C-alpha cells in the first residue's frame, strides 16, 4: 500500500517541503560544501514524490514491489538525503555528517552505503538510461511499480539523455516518469548561454514522450502532473518542471553563484529565519 495516500493535503506537502529545505541548508552549512541552488529548486518535486506519490516502505528499502526514484542530477544529493531521512529511512541526526570522512552521505549518492538510494549517481547524463533498464525489468517481472527519474536542465545537454529518451519511447515505457528541473542555471552560467535546450517541450515530444509542462515550485501543479503521468498508457511521460534556482531563500534565488556553494553560518541563520 502506498504510505503517501494519507498525505494528499497540499498544505501538508508545502510544510513538508519547507522542512526539507531547512534540513538541506543545515547539512550544507555544517559540511561547508555542496550544492545549494539545485537542491532547493527541486525540493517541491522530490517532496511530492516521496510524501505523495511514491509507493515505498522506508522500513524495508528493498521491498520488491516498491516504486523506484533515480536522482540523475546526483550533485543534488542533499535533497535526496533530506527526503529519505524525513521519510524514515534513517535518523535525521545522520544528516549532519554530510561529506564527512566515513559518512554514508557523500557528495553524490551511493547505493552501497545508504538505504533508500537505488543507484549511485553523479556522472551526469546516465540516470535516464539506468531508469530505462529498471522500467524494462519491472515489466518483465510483471510488476506494476513505477520509475521516477529527476534530471537537471544543464544535464540534458548530454547526448546520452536523448539516446535514453529514444529508447524509452521505443519500448513504450509507460511505467516511466522523467522530471526535468528547469531552473535555467548551471555551474557555468545560464543554460541558454552555455548550450540552449529550448524548445525543450518539442524535443521530448519529437522523441515520442507525453509532455506535461508545469511550474515546478507549485505543489498543486506537481501533484496533478504526477497523477496525470500515472494515467498515460503506451508511452513514457516527462514533467518539465520550471523552477527557480535556490527557491525558498530570497538571497539564493536566481543566482548561479550558489549552484555549488554552501551557505555560511550567517547565511544559514538568515535563511532559517526566512523559512521558519
The domain covering 8-275 belongs, at the CATH homologous superfamily level, to Thiamin diphosphate (ThDP)-binding fold, Pyr/PP domains (3.40.50.970)
pLDDT band per the 50, 70, 90 thresholds, residue 276: confident
Q: What is the mean pLDDT of residues 252-270?
A: 96
Asked if 35 contacts 20 with a C-beta cutoff of 8 angstroms, the reply is no
pTM here is 0.95
* 146 contacts: CB under 8 Å, gap ≥ 6: 55, 67, 68, 138, 175, 176, 177, 230
Length of the chain, in residues: 276
Kindly tell me if the per-residue pLDDT of 260 is higher than 80: yes
Q: For residue range 69-91, list pLDDT tens digits in order.
A: 999 999 999 999 999 999 999 99
State the CB neighbour count (10 A cutoff) for residue 138: 21
Please, what is the angle between helix 219-231 and helix 10-31, to 10°? 110
Amino acid at each position: 500500500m502506498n504510505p503517501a495516500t494519507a498525505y494528499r493535503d497540499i498544505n501538508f506537502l508545502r510544510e513538508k517541503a519547507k522542512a526539507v529545505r531547512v534540513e538541506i541548508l543545515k547539512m550544507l552549512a555544517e559540511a561547508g560544501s555542496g550544492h545549494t541552488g539545485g537542491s532547493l529548486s527541486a525540493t517541491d518535486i522530490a517532496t511530492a514524490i516521496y510524501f505523495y506519490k511514491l509507493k515505498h516502505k522506508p522500513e524495508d528499502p528493498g521491498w520488491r514491489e516498491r516504486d523506484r526514484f533515480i536522482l540523475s542530477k546526483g550533485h543534488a544529493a542533499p535533497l535526496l538525503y533530506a527526503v529519505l531521512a524525513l521519510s524514515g529511512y534513517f535518523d535525521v541526526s545522520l544528516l549532519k555528517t554530510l561529506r564527512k570522512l566515513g559518512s554514508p552521505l557523500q557528495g553524490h549518492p551511493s547505493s552501497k552505503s545508504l538505504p533508500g538510494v537505488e543507484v549511485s549517481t553523479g556522472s551526469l547524463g546516465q540516470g535516464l538510461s539506468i531508469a530505462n533498464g529498471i522500467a524494462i525489468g519491472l515489466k518483465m517481472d510483471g510488476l506494476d511499480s513505477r520509475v521516477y527519474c529527476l534530471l537537471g536542465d544543464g544535464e540534458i545537454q548530454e547526448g546520452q539523455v536523448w539516446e535514453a529518451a529514444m529508447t524509452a519511447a521505443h519500448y513504450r515505457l509507460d511505467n516511466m516518469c522523467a522530471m526535468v528541473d528547469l531552473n535555467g542555471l548551471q555551474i557555468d552560467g545560464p543554460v541558454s548561454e552555455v548550450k540552449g535546450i529550448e524548445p525543450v517541450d518539442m524535443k521530448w515530444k519529437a522523441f515520442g514522450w507525453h509532455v506535461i509542462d508545469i511550474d515546478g515550485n507549485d505543489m498543486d501543479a506537481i501533484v496533478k502532473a504526477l497523477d496525470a503521468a500515472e494515467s498515460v498508457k503506451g508511452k513514457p511521460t516527462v514533467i518539465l518542471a520550471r523552477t527557480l534556482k535556490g527557491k525558498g531563500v530570497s538571497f539564493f534565488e536566481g543566482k548561479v553563484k550558489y549552484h555549488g556553494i554552501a551557505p555560511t553560518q550567517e547565511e544559514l541563520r538568515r535563511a532559517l529565519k526566512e523559512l521558519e
